[in-house]
Chain A
């Protein structure tokens, strides 16, 4: 007998804790000069350092420190004047040194916050998510366990190891516990990660591609009886690869915990893996007997002591906060809330802004990116930013339409041509011969022919039945293969038949 969500929140208060791992987009790895480009042939982006060869030593990537400080500043954290790397010791084949260099008790950024907003039936609600720490570490390699039932190392026939990812710089952003979200816990978790993603994107420090794993979220969830002070036992859900999944995972865990607690059973403190297909989690590694990582200060590295002037320089370079920028653009462009949301959902804000900055009308720019271009992207199962059409192309198309050089219908063909790789809008227009028929004598001749073919319709119009004009306009458009400006055809037709044209 499964509980409903309403049953859960009537009795329990959820407490969240979110850990987000972000792969930085530095050109080289955290402690060596190897490339960080995603998708290389296995083990081609490695060297003695990231393979943990005997004798090799790490050296900190200064760009990674800079990115971490930027993240800390954007999350309202204090930047610690002195932080240190430690070794987290445990054995796993995809970890070349069998220890991970990570920050432990002395992280680079501490005590920040991020405000998030969610839409609810009771209007927009604001929540403050407090950040405990932001710290740096290196990623591990990737294992692929072949054979066996579970895809895990136990029971596998053999395992393949790819160390290209070993040593990629990671930043881990850890929240303090987040109480007080009540029924909105799943939405708050999602909104937090979305807001974080926007900030990271605006900082330009990460590709923030959840599907490629460059942004990964672990969601800690626990329940306690409403009014209780003591925290319940938490589970930690890993593998949550999309914003939607975060919401589903938190909701699912809340229900699972409540079912256990209602039956008088206890929640096991463990790692759980989110299953994209079922929306449920399955048990992973138990954390009841906490693994002893034998942390100690990394003796191969010196402490990180960023100087205050550098921090202030970075602070001054911070971009506009994404939520402030959004409000500013929404106001400037006069976009209704719903459509603003659609634009954000489609990841179109940057593209529209760039198009507007090139002189396009905001409404038209938005219309193209969210209309025809989004439609094609959907067909191709990709993001609009991945299509080969640029803000410059769209701005040119908007201008050509405004100048009457293209009709909307022709412009759609130009968009399609640009996306198909036929070149710039002008090239597509030339190659496909897409030109508005603006020769009025040719249009008049076509109008005469249409009237001759449909004399009764023409008569109706002469008698003031204007809606009948559609049929004749259609015939003219058909004859000109759509290359005429329909509005002009209508004007000429109505004028010719002695009717008012406006």
Chain B
């Protein structure tokens, strides 16, 4: 049962073939068996999950109307607050904090009857592309335990690939949903900025952060997308418009007559050969399915990474200022006579990891008087240029596509001491965040040279998220026909699994 898709599990629950308690227990057992190897979870809420599952079963027994995924379990990225459940954001500084409130995403999940299994590992405060920056140790890629599962949401994607959960929530500031999806052979979607409420998502970079669905199939992602999306009066940047019809689009999956633009600048030099060949084969499949493939150019994408590493650190330097040992989290050096300032300094010194400190320093510098215009100001101008590139490209294509990342999963430790090499992982995903549009990654095969998953990225204009699902479903169907079985059926068995 645990290897099935979420909508198949939902069908089994609806038909009475299983119960949510049994399904939840099966996943808890799987976590117990394999998470020592994978380390996808920072916290498993066994009691809470079973209680929630029982609640759904009881509702179903009473004949109450339930949502399409009611009773299906989910893994929650630890950056999303859930009332009473430890939330660390992968950081020491928040160790032991139990939030007093639910994020809007969690409230939406709870009202849809989704069972929350626990909190997944991540790069500290979502800063990273490998989950190696977690203060609680790295997550391992279930395809090869010596490799990274992507980041920052490596815990969420690894939990899907390891069949510890059929659904997960991720957050994507520069690629933290899509890149982990790509390197674990799963599906991840960053909705249009403002499509899913950020209330209760611990902020890294407010103007870029966006929560989204992670799953093993395009349809599962769409079903989850509709549950978590929608206008939220508690988030001033939330879009007050109907949620795009993504489930319908995922069920439709027809690309006849659609124009698909591949971005010239997001392929070629720096991209692993196997990544390029799988990507190009997928383009051919889409063409066969009736889509028209066009080439588009986005010349300003070249500056996206540099601008991103000014905007995101600037915002993070301010967002992370609140971790001062006064109201929550750990407190260091609070001895007789210690001043508030010294306690705050010591706590931040001990509580934050290297990458977080690096970005706080970078951002503090970029916002400083005298440097603001040259750094933050210029970066915002680049952001406008990137938006203009997209606008122009979308006049000749309905969606844009590229490989999700330049390479397959690299070895744990390989890039840990080379921040620039690490940052390059997100070169193809960052433009989407900068423009506030939607992006999806779905698996398009294994790279022949290393037998590791390759991700295919689809980008759609703002508020046109359904287009990604339509194209994604078409490609997924074509690939499934070619492979005969889902890509994850090829994943090596874990020692703890049967």
Contacts and interface: CB of A to CB of B under 8 A. Distances in A.
A302 interface: yes
11 contacts: A51-B327, A54-B87, A54-B322, A54-B323, A55-B99, A55-B103, A97-B321, A99-B318, A99-B321, A295-B372, A296-B367
Given A52-B327, A56-B199, A296 B81 contact: no
A402 interface: no
Interface stretch (B232-240, B245-253, B286-294): B232-240
Interface stretch (A57-65, A70-78, A126-134, A191-199): A57-65
Contacts of A60: 236
Interface of A: 48, 51-60, 87, 89, 91, 93, 96-99, 153-154, 159, 161, 290, 292, 294-296, 299-302
Interface stretch (B201-209, B401-409, B411-419, B441-449): B201-209
Given A59-B233, A302-B236, A54 B89 contact: yes
A321 to B, nearest CB: 35
A52 B202 CA distance: 11
B399 to A, nearest CB: 27
Given A54-B81, A87-B318, A294 B369 contact: yes
B339 to A, nearest CB: 7
Contact of B101 (A53, A91, A301): A53
A153 B340 contact: yes
A497 to B, nearest CB: 84
Contacts, number: 105
Interface in B122-151: none
A278 B458 CA distance: 71
A296 B327 contact: no
B368 A294 contact: yes
Contacts of A55: 80-81, 99, 103, 199-203
B410 interface: no
B376 A296 contact: yes
Interface in B350-375: 364, 367-369, 372
B81 A97 contact: no
B315 interface: yes
Contact of B326 (A93, A153, A294): A93
B295 to A, nearest CB: 34
A302 B237 contact: yes
Q: Which of A55, A60, A290 has the most CB of B within 10 A?
A: A55
B330 to A, nearest CB: 13
Nearest to B208: A299
A292 B341 CA distance: 18
Interface in B191-226: 198-203, 205-207
B340 A89 contact: no
Contacts of A58: 236
A59 B314 contact: no
Given A54-B81, A56-B199, A91-B324, 11 more contacts: A54-B87, A89-B318, A96-B327, A98-B324, A99-B318, A99-B321, A292-B369, A294-B318, A296-B314, A299-B315, A300-B203
B33 interface: no
Given A48-B100, A296-B314, A296-B367, A57 B344 contact: no
Interface in B74-104: 80-81, 87, 89, 94, 97, 99-101, 103
Interface in B228-281: 233-237
Contacts of B315: 296, 299
A208 B416 CA distance: 58
Considering residues B198, B201, B322, B339, which has the most beta carbons from chain A within 10 angstroms of its beta carbon? B322
A48 to B, nearest CB: 5
Contact of B321 (A93, A98, A292): A98
Given A91-B344, A99-B321, A292 B368 contact: yes
A254 B69 CA distance: 73
Interface residues of B, number: 45
Interface string B290-327: 00000000000000000000000011011001111011
Contact of A299 (B199, B206, B322): B206
A312 to B, nearest CB: 25
A155 to B, nearest CB: 9
Nearest to B337: A157
A290 to B, nearest CB: 8
A296 B372 contact: yes
Contacts of B372: 294-296
A354 B80 CA distance: 56
Given A48-B101, A93-B340, A161-B326, A300 B236 contact: yes
Nearest to A33: B234
A149 to B, nearest CB: 15
Task: Please give me the 8 A-B residue pairs with the lowest Cβ-Cβ distance, nearest first.
Answer: A98-B321, A294-B367, A299-B206, A299-B207, A54-B202, A55-B200, A55-B81, A55-B202
Contacts of B236: 57-60, 300-302
Nearest to A90: B321
Contacts of B367: 89, 294-296
B43 interface: no
A86 B237 CA distance: 15
Given A48-B101, A299-B315, A301-B236, A56 B324 contact: no
B99 A54 contact: yes
Contacts of B341: 91
Given A54-B99, A97-B322, A98-B321, A59 B364 contact: no
A300 B234 CA distance: 11
A105 to B, nearest CB: 11
A154 B94 CA distance: 27
A347 to B, nearest CB: 39
Interface string B424-462: 000000000000000000000000000000000000000
A441 B202 CA distance: 88
A54 B103 CA distance: 10
A51 B317 CA distance: 18
A57 B318 contact: no
Contacts of A299: 205-207, 237, 315
Q: Which of A52, A299, A300 has the most CB of B within 10 A?
A: A299
B359 to A, nearest CB: 14
Nearest to A154: B339
Contacts of A89: 317-318, 321, 367
A410 to B, nearest CB: 59
A290 B198 CA distance: 35
Nearest to B232: A57
Contacts of B364: 294
Given A54-B202, A57-B236, A59-B234, A98 B99 contact: no
Contacts of A96: 322, 326-327
Nearest to B205: A299
A378 to B, nearest CB: 44
B318 A296 contact: yes
A58 B238 CA distance: 12
A159 B340 contact: yes
A221 to B, nearest CB: 26
Nearest to B364: A294
A54 B369 contact: no
